[in-house]
Amino acid sequence: MTTPCPYSSRHNGGATGAPAIELKQLTKVFPGSSTPVLNAIDLTVPAGTIFGILGPNGAGKTTIMSTLCGLLKPTSGSVHICGSNAQTERATIKQILGMVPQEPAIYPTLTARENLEYFGRMQGLSGEHLQKRILACLDVAEMAGEADKRVERLSGGYKRRLNMVIGLIHEPKILILDEPTVAIDPHSRSLIHHRLRELHAAGISILISTHQMDEAEQLCQEIAILDHGRVLVQGNVSDLLSMQASETVQLQIEGDPPADLTARLEHIPGLLEAHVAGQCLTVVTVRPDRVMIPLMQAMQDYGLAVRSLSFGTTSLEDVFLSHTDGKRASR
């Protein structure tokens, strides 16, 4: 049973009227490389949303996060956080942002409370206010009982929770999380999701990078799919799902489909696109009603038994796969 979130932001997420994060034509080329890691990215994270950045490894997610925090200088383009320029107003944006790195960035030989106290002081907190914030963060992480244990003796789940709440110690307007639930127990994962929703309800804008499609589907209102340093698609999650769903038919096939199956289906009138992932054949069409009969006939001709068929339903993974050539995704 999760207790109510004791976090209440001193900020109102959308009070300034400016987007939480706005990237314009953001390009980053590392010295010695000719290929841009980020290639003219335009991205807008509306204030008060949970925004997911999805993308395979090497897509440029971490580079975007480092640029947002002011740790990397863009080659060209601009980054604005709540209307402040990330390059020229670094001190301001550092106060606005709360960063949660992928790996627990904490001191293992200090206790959870000492870690919170140290990073709190580094954020300029002190005295009674700091002590209140430490207690609030320990409550958010549900680890009041573990507060005085050294971090090295805590489980991976507790470390992840502590890692997250350190990012909240100074009550940021925007929380940035890099893969916050990788390799974590289900209880801690559920708690982190729950707390993120509560933080969102309290007015915090949240930017989360993740590989996990179900996580993005459950948490995010908006997503951007990134690959090879470009934004392939950006939009509201439910819009993207419904757009994809209205045009797709999915068939679960028994046994392994032949490698050239999609090529063999090209002659079916009205079929725009077909791709295979494992034993799942996904067909994109503007007229599913016309495609069904020749599609089933083709399955029979190729000796493939259809175990199940779904029509008009899809997941974020399908959206992701359809935009990234079906590569490198995990569920």
Partner 1 sequence: MMDNLTKFWASIAKEARIIGRDHQALFLFFVMPVLFVLILSLALRDAFGDRPGATFDVLMVSQDPGEVTQSIVEAFRSNSHILLTQSNTASEAEARQWLIDGRYRFVVLVPPEATAQAERRLGEIMAKVPPELRMEKPVELVVMADPALRSDFRKVLEGSLDLALHGVEMKLGREQLQQTMRATQGENYVPLPDMEKSRLFEPVRGETVTREGSGPTPTSVQQNAPAWTLLAMFFLTVPLSVSFIREREQGSLFRLQTMTVPAWVVLGGKAVPYFVINLIQMASILAVSVYVLPLLGGDRLELGNAPLALLLIGGSASLAAIGFGIAVAMYARTTEQATSFSSATVMIMAALGGILVPKAVMPPLMQEVAILSPLSWGLDGFLDVFVRGGGVQQVLPEALSLLAFSAVCHGVAIMRYRSQT
CB 154 → partner 1: shortest distance, Å? 14
Say if strands 50-54 and 230-236 run parallel, antiparallel, or are unpaired: unpaired
Compute the least distance from the CB of residue 20 to partner 1, in Å: 16
From CA 227, how far away is CA 57, in angstroms rounded? 9
Which residue from 35, 164, 20, 59 is spatially nearest to 102, judged by alpha carbons?
164
| DSSP secondary structure letter of residue 330 | B
Q: Are 271 and 265 in contact (CB under 8 A)?
A: yes
Q: Which is nearer to partner 1, 31 or 186 (CB)?
A: 31
What amino acid occupies position 106? I
- Chain contacts with partner 1 (rule: CB under 8 A): 69-71, 91, 94-95, 97, 99, 101, 103-110, 114, 117-119, 121-124, 126, 150, 166
Nearer to partner 1, 208 or 291 (CB): 208
CB of 103 to partner 1, least distance (A): 5
Residue 87 is encoded by which pair of tokens? 């390059």
SS3 12: coil
Three-state SS string across 87-125, please? CCCHHHHHHHEEEECCCCCCCCCCEHHHHHHHHHHHCCC
How far apart are CB 294 and partner 1 at their closest, in Å?
55
193: Cα within 13 Å, side-chain hemisphere: 18
Task: Report how far residue 70's alpha carbon sits from residue 89's, in angstroms, rounded to the nearest whole number.
Answer: 9
- End-to-end CA gap in the chain: 26
Closest separation in Å from C-beta 121 to partner 1 = 4
Which residue has 């090295």 as its token pair?
152
Shortest distance, position 170 Cβ to partner 1, whole Å:
8
Q: How far is the CB of 105 from partner 1 (least distance, A)?
A: 3
Q: Whose Cβ is closer to partner 1: residue 19's or residue 70's?
A: 70
Nearer to partner 1 by Cβ, of 178 and 317: the residue is 178
| Closest to partner 1 by CB, 166 or 283 | 166
User: How many other CB atoms sit within 10 Å of the CB of residue 89?
Assistant: 17
Strand-pairing partners, residue 38, are: 28
* CB closer to partner 1, 113 vs 195: 113
